[in-house]
């Protein structure tokens, strides 16, 4: 089959690799019909995440048709159309029983789990296409994928609903939703969201749906700010204004009640601390660039809530711990417990109350995936989300939504 494989910084290639097969009884094999490039894939593309190996297949936002089912799976049938959550959850461990599916104890292979246990204190869950820290599972930017514990994760979607409307149930829609849920929104709340990429946009959409009185969105790409405005947010361009001062003024001097960091470890910024972060990361003195998170912690009102869906992996320098403690902030974060939210979100999509298609800027054949990565990295204003279609002819022009 054809698949997008990683070979180093800014070096991804669509190659022919062996087709996957059933290994464990609860596996299923999915023929992939749509698959997207995630902002966190760019951390792999930029080689920020360790434990990658040449030839690894990327991709963790995918859906398609079940073509093979292991003998231990009593839920899925060949022919079912499914969206696959990016985290792999067994359904039976302590964490899955608490619906903390992104903390599953049984999906990271024992020989790979050591890596994250050493780094974080306990082993991470397994996930698709995201380095050997998460198990080294082949990802879904491919024609086929092996899906473990396929009786727990994959969401069956009915025919008659377009791929583009449900694909993001795999990751970014529940990620934005969980980010908003983690704000513990109260009546009258103003939520500030840093980052108007797909996760930030879904977080804005979710926060308004969950009852936020007002959302203020922060970014510097004009097109992304327009998308945020279209959802109903007020917008702040950090290249033009001082963000913290703007937020004080826009919230009657109190500050936002809850703040969402949808930026993550490759934070951009033009201030001294941001430039220092870049410099340190370039020579490996630091791992994560936390300019946005510093701003979040300083901007949030006293006694407020901070929600961190943005991906971080290592250590941060100059972390305003004093601000966190002295202002009494509550922090909630984590990889998304996708399976916890998918039914509710699918219902909202089917009722027409949540639209996910507005942020797709490009659709292209899987064969053009390398170009898709380069575009997503270099033209973040015009390119908001790239959806890859295996089987689409390379004669098709990349379309703009």
107 interacts with other proteins by CB under 8 A:
yes
Rounded Cα gap, residues 171 and 377, in angstroms? 19
Given the complex with other proteins, which of 25 and 230 has the nearer CB atom? Answer: 25
Work out whether 115 is an interface residue with other proteins (CB under 8 A). no
Q: What is the nearest approach in angstroms of other proteins to the Cβ of residue 79?
A: 15
Select the residue interacting with other proteins from 71, 74, 110, 284 (CB under 8 A): 110
Select the residue interacting with other proteins from 12, 14, 20, 206 (CB under 8 A). 20
Give me the least distance between CB of 65 and other proteins, in Å please: 12
**Helix 291-299, helix 243-250: angle, nearest 10:** 30
Strand, coil or helix: what is 275?
A: helix
Strands in 177-328 per DSSP E:
190-194, 214-219, 234-237, 258-261, 305-308
- C-beta of 177: minimal distance to other proteins in Å? 27
Minimum CB distance to other proteins, residue 114 (Å): 6
Please count the residues of this chain forming the interface with other proteins, following the rule CB under 8 A: 44
Which CB sits closer to other proteins, 59 or 304? 59
Minimal distance, residue 179 CB to other proteins, in Å: 28
Could you say whether residue 390 binds other proteins (CB under 8 A)? no
Interface residue with other proteins among 62, 101, 137, 238 (CB under 8 A) is 137
Identify the residue among 21, 50, 303, 328 touching other proteins (CB under 8 A): 21
Q: List the one residue from 39, 136, 153, 310 that touches other proteins (CB under 8 A).
A: 136
Output b/e per residue, 116-145; b: 16+ Cβ within 10 A: beebeeebbbbbbbbbbbbbbbbbbbbbbb
**Using rule CB under 8 A, residue 112 touches other proteins:** yes
Residue 60 makes contact with other proteins by CB under 8 A = no
Cα distance between residue 275 and residue 284, in whole Å: 14
Determine the length of the chain. Answer: 401
Q: Which stretch binds other proteins (CB under 8 A): 27-35, 75-83, 167-175, 216-224?
A: 27-35
Residues 141-160, interacting with other proteins (CB under 8 A): 143-144, 146, 148-149
Q: How far apart are CA 161 and CA 40, in angstroms?
A: 27
CA distance 31 to 3: 12
- Cα dist. 152→55, 131, 156, 227 in Å? 28, 22, 11, 34
What is the Cα–Cα distance from 368 to 46, expressed in whole angstroms? 18
Residues 280-319 that bind other proteins (CB under 8 A): none
Would you say 149 or 312 has its CB closer to other proteins? 149
Nearer to other proteins, 13 or 401 (CB): 13
Contact residues for 284 (Cβ-Cβ < 8 A; gap 6+)? none
Binding mask 338-357 vs other proteins (x if CB under 8 A, - otherwise)? --------------------
Q: What angle do CA 292, 298, 301 make, to 5 degrees?
A: 120
Q: Of 338, 340, 316, 387, give the one whose Cα is nearest residue 126.
A: 338
For other proteins, the binding residues (CB under 8 A) are: 1, 18-27, 29, 31, 67-68, 72, 90-94, 97, 105-114, 117, 123, 126, 135-138, 143-144, 146, 148-149
């Amino acid at each position: 089959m054809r698949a997008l494989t990683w070979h180093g910084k800014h070096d991804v290639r669509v190659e022919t690799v062996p087709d996957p097969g059933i290994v464990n009884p609860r596996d299923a094999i999915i023929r992939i019909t749509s698959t997207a490039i995630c902002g966190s894939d760019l951390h792999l593309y930029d080689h920020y995440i360790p434990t990658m190996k040449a030839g690894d297949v990327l991709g963790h936002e995918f859906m398609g048709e079940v073509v093979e089912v292991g003998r231990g799976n009593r839920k899925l049938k060949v022919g079912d159309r499914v969206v696959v959550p990016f985290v792999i959850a067994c359904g039976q461990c302590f964490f899955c029983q608490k619906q903390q599916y992104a903390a599953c104890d049984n999906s990271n292979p024992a020989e790979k789990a050591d890596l994250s246990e050493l780094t974080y204190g306990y082993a991470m869950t397994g996930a698709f296409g995201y380095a050997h820290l998460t198990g080294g599972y082949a990802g879904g930017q491919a024609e086929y994928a092996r899906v473990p514990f396929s009786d727990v994760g994959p969401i069956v979607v009915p025919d008659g609903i377009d791929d583009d409307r449900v694909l993001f149930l795999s990751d970014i829609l529940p990620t934005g939703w969980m980010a908003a849920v983690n704000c513990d929104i109260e009546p009258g709340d103003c939520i500030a969201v840093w980052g108007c990429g797909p996760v930030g946009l879904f977080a804005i959409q979710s926060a308004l749906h969950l009852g936020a009185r007002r959302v203020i969105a922060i970014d510097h790409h004009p097109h992304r700010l327009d998308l945020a405005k279209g959802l109903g947010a007020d917008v702040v361009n950090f290249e033009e204004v001082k963000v913290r001062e703007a937020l004080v003024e826009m919230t009657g001097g109190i500050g936002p009640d809850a703040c969402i960091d949808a930026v993550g470890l490759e934070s951009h910024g033009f201030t001294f601390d941001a430039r220092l972060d870049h410099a340190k990361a370039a020579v490996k003195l630091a791992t994560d660039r936390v300019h946005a998170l510093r701003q979040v912690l300083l901007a949030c009102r006293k006694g407020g809530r901070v929600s961190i869906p943005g991906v971080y992996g290592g250590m941060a320098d100059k972390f305003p711990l004093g601000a966190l403690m002295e202002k009494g902030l509550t922090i909630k974060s984590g990889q998304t417990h996708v399976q916890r939210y998918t039914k509710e979100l699918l219902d909202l999509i089917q009722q027409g109350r949540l639209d996910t298609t507005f942020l797709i800027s490009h659709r292209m054949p899987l064969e053009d995936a390398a170009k898709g990565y380069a575009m997503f990295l270099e033209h973040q204003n015009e390119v908001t989300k790239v959806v890859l279609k295996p089987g689409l002819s390379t004669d098709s022009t990349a379309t703009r939504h």
